[in-house]
């Protein structure tokens, strides 16, 4: 992922926070069918002293999990909400005339090797962790054990797990850092007035 130094996100904690906040990643790999890109929810695991890895699952017939894919290089892209930035929102830009539309977003690119996992206990623990990560902040969180045990067993038989040991992480925040504080405050104000919920989310990401 190309990034100029000003926009690079290098703090591991900030990178991990973004990955956990937006776990539905675009997973790219070369399969028997050719280049495949799939949206899959991924669990970030950062055990102390162990490798940083991603855990996921898919249907057993999924191209990503077919024979020959063990050890394949994969790319997972995590992305925050994004929003179009109108040149009219930049106060100082109006004075200078140095204006162009842009798009604001934050993203993380994770590269690593795929490893398929066939283990009932592993899959159950992964599904529990993935669910809890999304439900934990709710007043009445839904837990995996709230589902009928037979239904869970049946669903698990149709799934296969996988892990990606991360070799390389790249983070990027393209949030108008090159602009003045006055411009960024104007941008936040205008994004907050947009009809799109994503624009409101981007407004909260921008640092004044």
Share of residues in the chain with pLDDT > 70 (%): 99
pLDDT of residue 98 exceeding 90, the answer is no
**Mean of per-residue pLDDT scores for the chain:** 93
Share of residues in the chain with pLDDT > 90 (%): 82
pLDDT of residue 80 exceeding 90, the answer is yes
pLDDT of residue 10 exceeding 70, the answer is yes
Average pLDDT rounded to a whole number, residues 183-202: 94
The half-sphere exposure of 171 on its side-chain side, counting CA atoms within 13 A, is 14
Task: Name the band, by pLDDT with cuts 50, 70 and 90, for residue 49.
Answer: low
pLDDT at 149: 87
Which tokens go with 127?
């599904």
pLDDT of residue 171 exceeding 80, the answer is yes
Cα–Cα distance, 77 to 19 (Å, whole number): 9
Average pLDDT rounded to a whole number, residues 160-181: 95
pLDDT of residue 88 exceeding 80, the answer is yes
Average pLDDT rounded to a whole number, residues 16-38: 95
Count of beta carbons in the 10 Å neighbourhood of residue 94: 14
pLDDT at 32: 87
Apex 202 CA angle, 92 and 93, nearest 5: 10
Cα–Cα distance, 81 to 141 (Å, whole number): 24
Strands (E), 24-158: 24-31, 34-41, 43-45, 53-59, 73-79, 83-85, 102-117
Which tokens go with 61?
């017939």
Task: Name the band, by pLDDT with cuts 50, 70 and 90, for residue 78.
Answer: very high
Cα–Cα distance, 27 to 35 (Å, whole number): 11
Pair type for strands 83-85 and 102-117? antiparallel
């Amino acid at each position: 992922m190309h990034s100029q130094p000003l926009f690079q996100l290098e703090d591991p904690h900030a990178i991990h926070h973004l990955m956990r906040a937006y776990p539905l990643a675009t997973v790219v790999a070369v399969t028997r069918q050719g280049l495949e890109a799939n949206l899959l929810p991924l669990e970030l695991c950062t055990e102390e002293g162990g490798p940083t890895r991603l855990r996921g699952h898919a249907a057993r017939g999924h191209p990503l999990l077919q024979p020959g894919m063990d050890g394949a290089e994969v790319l997972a892209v995590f992305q925050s909400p994004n929003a179009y930035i109108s040149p009219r929102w930049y106060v100082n830009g109006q004075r200078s005339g140095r204006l162009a539309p842009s798009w604001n977003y934050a993203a993380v690119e994770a590269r690593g090797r795929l490893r398929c996992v066939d283990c009932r206990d592993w899959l159950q623990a992964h599904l529990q962790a993935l669910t809890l990560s999304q439900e934990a902040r709710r007043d009445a969180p839904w837990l995996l054990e709230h589902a009928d045990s037979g239904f869970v067993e049946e669903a698990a038989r149709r799934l296969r797990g996988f892990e990606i040991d991360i070799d390389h992480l790249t983070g990027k925040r393209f949030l108008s850092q090159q602009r003045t504080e006055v411009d960024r405050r104007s941008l936040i104000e205008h994004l907050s007035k947009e009809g799109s919920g994503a624009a409101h989310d981007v407004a909260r990401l921008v640092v004044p």
